[in-house]
Amino acid sequence: MKVISVNVGQPREIAWRGQMVRTSVYKTPVAGRVRVRKLNFDGDAQADLIGHGGEHRAVMVYQAESYLYWSDTLQRKDFVYGQFGENLTVVGMADNEVCIGDRFKIGSAIFEVTQPRVTCWRVGISTGVPEMPALLVKHKRPGFYFRVIQEGEVGAGDVIEKIADGDEKMSVAEIDGLLYLKDHPEDKLQRALRIPALSQAWNGSFRDLLDATSKGSVKGNAGLSGQAVEPLAWTGFRPFVVQRTRMECEGVRSFELSAEDGSPTPAFLPGQHIAVRVHPTKDGIPMIRMYSLCGPQDAPSLRIAVKREVNGAGGIYMHEKVHDGDILEISAPRGTFTLSEGKEPLVLLSAGVGVTPLLSILHQVAHRDSTRELWWIHSCRNGDYEAFGEEVRSLGLQLTAFHRVVVYSSPNDGEACGIDYDIKGHLDLQQLQAMQLPVESECYLCGPPTYLHNITAALKDIGIVDKKIKFELFGSSSEPVGGGGKLPHPPSDNTGQGPLVTFSKSKISFRWHPRFGSLLEAAEACDIPVQWSCRMGVCHRCETGIIDGGVTYSPDPLDPPADGNVLICCSVPTSPVDLDL
């Protein structure tokens, strides 16, 4: 085993799909000896520090044998060392032989194998093969990362000396397939979790897979999607009867729904939502809107609450046209904005009608975990606009450690601070600091985009880490929610003749056009915020709920998503499709 090339690169801007993207996937061989430090080689840097870089992903390794393999397989003779984004091109060290935790001495430095390569679309750019993120996994040639145990100097020609075996002796290829491919045997997951050298991110993914297995969830990939997905009660839409409507505050009306056929109320997790489909338009295109479930789990009906806004077609229709005894078509409960199983202090923060999913979570805690410390922090205009205020107070009495903070931006005359509300104005960092929230708290937020942005930043400033902050947003008619600061909108070339595509949360419908290539590209054309990494059905970051309709894949995912979900990066509609975006 030896080093045949040391490669480094700095982040740079490149043109890709009509936009400029920042990447350091392009590595160039360097002459002489190069010093390697804890986070990278001198002269090297990572552009995307979420997917790459850090202590456990300091040095990328790829094999000369794999270069030869891809040259033969793809009939390519133009690959050059560094093109797969590696810092060290080596002879030997095959992915099916090197194990996680193995240690090697190269030059004067010592390294430890921590994880396989992260699947990333950028290797498709650098190699000119868009499918490469999937091919690396399917062909069991991912490459791997080193952690730097001892800094030193490395150069081409250095012999690679193995100085220690990793615990459990699980190869890079075996670990890679255990996460990305279809089979996730429990015994192998347990073995992987016993490897101390395994990076924290992969350890967390395997724990999620093991948790899903223990709960009997065998559909989908919890290690990539982040959690086990409960099976949907049904697909598409079913008719439900409006049992009762009620004004909860100024502009907000609640609706209690039960199945038309008399079947039991479907089970749901507090924080989940349903889609409601109505047919108010003359052009035959239904209107679909998403509403959080806001009642207790053991109620005989499902409850939603709808805000009426000046230009909100869905809210106006629900307030003016829907009455007791009417029929609404609804989807099965779905969504991942649900309470974890932790016991840390819980902080529920909402603004306006954002109270709805948090109210359902409050019901759950009051009925099942009444000793858990809970902070209820709600912002609204004044008492006329405080939905479910009495219900919250009543639930709070069932908790042994309940802290209720109400923020009124414009109190009515006669409303007294300290009696009717606690803070006048808008919630900010200074006020949150004064509450002395425990920094280990789990925080759940729901509200308009500006509120979520400001409060998330404030929570981080007081010491609450990212992974403890979850938020829910159903879009807005007046505020941008996309990463580019733009409002979601129909595609600029809206001349498609294919199946109807509906992004339900964003309230957008249009006919499919083949120019998009995938549902992900269609969402991007609408400036809808979406997550992705591989764009080839491997990483599952784009996994999205499909409410109704069908899709076809190209390429097929390496591990299919859970029932009721779809990987939008590699799918196109085969019939009218409603997506939870």
pLDDT single digits (tens) 405-423: 999 999 999 999 999 999 9
pLDDT at 217: 66
Residues 538 and 573 both lie in one domain: yes
- The answer to whether residues 439 and 506 belong to one domain is no
Number of domains in the chain: 4
Q: Are residues 315 and 178 in the same domain?
A: no
Same domain, yes or no, for 369 and 450? yes
Torsion over CA: 283, 288, 289, 294 (sign): positive
Of 86-100, 235-249, 280-294, 548-562, minimum mean pLDDT range? 280-294
Average the pLDDT over 424-428 and give the result.
95
Q: Does residue 232 form part of some domain?
A: no
- The model's pLDDT over 237-253, given as tens digits with 9 standing for 90+, comes to 999 999 999 999 999 99
Among 129-133, 283-287, 437-441, 469-473, the minimum mean pLDDT is found in 283-287
Q: Is 480 within a domain?
A: no
What are the pLDDT digits (tens) for 435-485? 999 999 999 999 988 899 999 999 999 999 988 999 887 544 444 444 455
Task: State which amino acid sits at residue 291.
Answer: Y
CB distance 211 to 200 below 8 Å: no
CA-CA-CA-CA torsion sign (235, 291, 362, 467): positive
Evaluate if residue 174 carries a pLDDT over 80: yes
**pTM summary value:** 0.82
Q: Tell me what the mean pLDDT of segment 60-76 comes to.
A: 97
Band of residue 99 on the pLDDT scale cut at 50, 70, 90: very high
Question: 420, 454, 472: which is the final residue of a domain?
Answer: 472
Question: Do 46 and 145 share a domain, yes or no?
Answer: yes
The domain that contains 243 carries what CATH number?
Answer: 2.40.30.10
Q: Distance (Å, rounded) from C-alpha 12 to C-alpha 178? A: 33
Task: Identify whether the C-beta of residue 527 lies closer than 8 Å to the C-beta of residue 581.
Answer: no
Lowest mean pLDDT among 212-216, 420-424, 565-569: 212-216
The residues, ordered by sequence, that sit 6+ positions from 559 with a Cβ below 8 Å of its Cβ are 180, 181, 182, 220, 221, 224, 540
Whole-angstrom distance between the N-terminal and C-terminal Cα of the chain?
49
- Pick the last residue of a domain from 330, 365, 385: 330
HSE-CB of 540 using CA atoms within 13 angstroms: 21
Total count of residues recorded for the chain: 581
Three-class DSSP category at 569: helix
229 belongs to a structural domain: no
> Which span out of 298-302, 481-485, 493-497 was modeled with the highest average pLDDT?
298-302
Taking alpha carbons only, the member of 438, 246, 291, 444 closest to residue 364 is: 444
Question: Are 389 and 449 in a shared domain?
Answer: yes
* Two tokens, residue 329: 């078509």
Query: Helix axis angle, 389-396 relative to 355-368, nearest 10°?
Result: 20
CATH at 368: 3.40.50.80
Rounded CA-CA distance 283/264 in Å is 34
Q: Do residues 196 and 67 both lie within one domain?
A: yes
Within a domain: 89? yes
Confidence of residue 313 (pLDDT cuts 50, 70, 90): confident
Helix (H, G, I), strand (E, B) or coil at 396: helix
Instruction: List the one residue out of 191, 220, 222, 193 whose CA is nearest residue 208.
Output: 222
Confidence grade of residue 212 (pLDDT, cut at 50, 70, 90): confident
Residue 417 lies in a domain: yes
- Check: CB of residue 361 under 8 Å from CB of residue 271: yes
CATH classification at residue 530: 3.10.20.30
pLDDT greater than 90 at residue 428: yes
Overall average pLDDT of the 562-574 stretch: 92
What mean pLDDT do residues 116-121 have? 90
Residue at 222 is within a domain: no
Residue 223 lies in a domain: no
Q: Do residues 562 and 487 make contact, with C-beta atoms less than 8 angstroms apart?
A: no
Q: Are residues 10 and 152 in the same domain?
A: yes
pLDDT reported for residue 218: 63
pLDDT for residue 510 is more than 70: yes
Question: Residue 42's pLDDT is what?
Answer: 96
Q: pLDDT tens for residues 389-399?
A: 999 999 999 99
Q: Same domain for 324 and 353?
A: no
Structure tokens at 42: 């001198």
DSSP 497-562: -SSEEEETTTTEEEE--GGG-SHHHHHHHTT-----SSSSSSS-TTEEEEEE--EEESSPPSSPPP
DSSP structure string for 460-490: HHTT--GGGEEEE----SSS--STTS-----
The secondary structure of residue 267, as a DSSP letter, is P
Domain check: are 465 and 359 in the same one?
Answer: yes
Confirm whether 570 is domain-assigned.
yes
Query: Contact, 41 vs 87, CB < 8 A?
Result: yes
280 has a pLDDT exceeding 70: no
Higher pLDDT, 480 or 310: 310
Mean pLDDT, the chain, rounded, equals 92
β-strands 2-8, 346-351: how paired?
A: unpaired
- Asked whether residue 149 falls in the same domain as residue 258, the answer is no
Locate tokens 């295109």: which residue? Answer: 285
Mean pLDDT of 315-330: 95
Query: Are 318 and 353 part of one and the same domain?
Result: no
Residue span of the structural domain in which 150 resides: 2-214
Band of residue 486 on the pLDDT scale cut at 50, 70, 90: confident
Q: Cβ of 19: how many Cβ atoms within 10 Å? A: 10
Q: Which two tokens stand for residue 296?
A: 């207790």
